[in-house]
Amino acid sequence: MSLAFDEYGRPFIILREQERKSRVKGIEAVKASIMAAKTVARTLRSSLGPKGMDKMLQSPDGDVTITNDGATILEMMEVENQIGKLMVELSKSQDHEIGDGTTGVVVLAGALLEHAESLLDMGMHPLRIAEGYELACKVATENLDNIKTRFEFSREDIEPLVKTCMTTLSSKVVGRLKRPMAEICVKAVLAVADLERRDVNLDLIKVEGKVGGKMEDTRLVEGIVIDKEFSHPQMPKELRDVKVAILTCPFEPPKPKTKHKVDIDTVEKFEALREAERTYFTDMVQRCKDSGAQLVICQWGFDDEANHLLMHQNLPAVRWVGGVEIELLAMATGARIVPRFQELTADKLGFAGSVKELGFGTTKDKMLVIEGCPNLKAVTIFVRGGNRMVLDEIKRSLHDAICVARNLVRDNAIVYGGGAAEISCALAVEEAADKVTGVEHYAMRAFSDALQAVPLALAENSGLPPIESLTAVKKRQLQESNPYLGIDCNDTGTNDMREQNVFETVIGKKQQLFLATQVCKMILKIDDVIKPSDFE
């Protein structure tokens, strides 16, 4: 693209390969962007809340996913439009930072842009709208700080954390089992949490699943589950109080790194080669035995002869264990990862209270459960489900709940859900807008109306009359100055979210407001779109 001037000094733009490009500029460009973002937001709107619907997505290679997790839906939708991709990125940002609220943030951004469109029709400049939104966002986040309450919890008193995780799980496929599932997630987070530093390393929580059984069979393993079995079928299937050796060297004869050729022309030479190999294997197994190891876990494979010798020496072994699992096992058992057999000594062994091989129904699938480890720094949530799609959705649901528990360990401030926080912020923004002179006043009012899109969607998805439900709650919040009143999605007969135990984390809500406002500002600032034409 280059700038040129005609003979009268008037500027005009020359585009390279102009006939192959289409161009939209000015207010049309802003409206086209808003239209794309609104379409994406509308897709997710029906997935919001405890009564939200699921989406079924099929990938190009035929894999089917059923989910109501906003980030997953948008990721698998393969959105082509560039503005649509911004909404996908918005949802991903919320997922990476907070882990929950991925649907709500897109619905909010869509509503903000929808209200911005009517302001543009009034002739308002896009940047003035963006500035008004920034002011309103600041007022809303300050209001969240005013209405938040703090949850005090400890390793003994986990009830506050469980209640908040139950809110997250109520809109998921595991809704009917939200209590036991929430307890599993909280216990897993607290097992690996460093409460002094208020930090949780989620890499130490492994979520492993196996198709079959029922959701109720999901359990927390205070140790590690690995998708492997003992290397020899005749090895014992259960071990108690064992010393564990973790190796990253293979039970195989050494291989020269250069190309080599061995000429064997007599029986004696062949026998000598076999004898050398056997000695090599016997030496390896003996070193493991001498160190006092009662279970060998190896990152690489075994030669058949080595496997046979291990079996005869009554030394159970597991092979082809992945690098991540090796590290988690080392943390849990207290073992050192040994790269060479020569370095294997008794002080580098770990300890496990029990090692069991689990079978599943009539399938040949086996898994190893390693429990009773001295350092409970790594835990596994073992999930069961009727089919692969349900299993994947349970894993996504538990990930959201784990993230919520992690956020509460970091910052234990909460606000009340069911749209209560949004209505309270909308009222605060409305009040602040009256004190603002200038055109930003209109933008702030639009922000206030957009915040109410979340409770409206909640009411609509729950089968309630949306406008009547919202106005009734809003009226009560104003009259009673009670920021805990929200939409009664579960039809329990009360709008007080404290009684319904519907909580959300403050950092999650703030992040939603910040991200939605930023994306709206970015979209409103686009006034010229040059892209390859659809028709060549």
Is residue 440 within 8 A of residue 414, CB to CB? The reply is no
Main-chain dihedrals φ then ψ at residue 382, nearest 5 degrees: -100, 110
**Measured CA angle at 279 (ends 277, 280), to 5 deg:** 65
Q: Which of 504, 420, 473 is nearest to 170 (CA)?
A: 504
Residue-by-residue DSSP string for 292-339: T-SEEEESS-B-HHHHHHHHHTT--EE----HHHHHHHHHHH-PPEES
Catalytic residue among 103, 167, 218, 333: 103
3-state secondary structure 327-347: HHHHHHHCCCEECCHHHCCHH
CA–CA distances in Å: residue 442 to residues 118, 122, 358, 525: 10, 10, 64, 18
Closest CA to 55 of 77, 78, 40, 84: 77
Tokens of 246: 């973790």
Pick the catalytic residue from 95, 400, 449, 488.
400
- The Cα 151–Cα 409 span in angstroms is 10
Cβ atoms of 142 and 135 closer than 8 Å: no
Distance of alpha carbon 329 from alpha carbon 358, whole angstroms: 18
Count how many Cα atoms sit within 13 Å of the Cα of residue 505 in the half-sphere of its side chain: 27
Q: Decide if 102 is catalytic.
A: yes
Of the residues 65, 102, 380, 517, only one is catalytic, namely 102
Find, among 141, 167, 171, the residue nearest to 44 by Cα.
Answer: 171
DSSP, res 474: H
Could you tell me where the DSSP H helices lie in 11-81?
27-45, 70-76
Annotated active-site residue in 67, 69, 164, 167: 69
Integer Cα distance of 451 and 58 in angstroms: 32
Contact 246, 415 (CB under 8 A): no
Q: For residue 376, what are its two tokens? A: 């409970």
Residues recognised as catalytic:
69, 102-103, 400
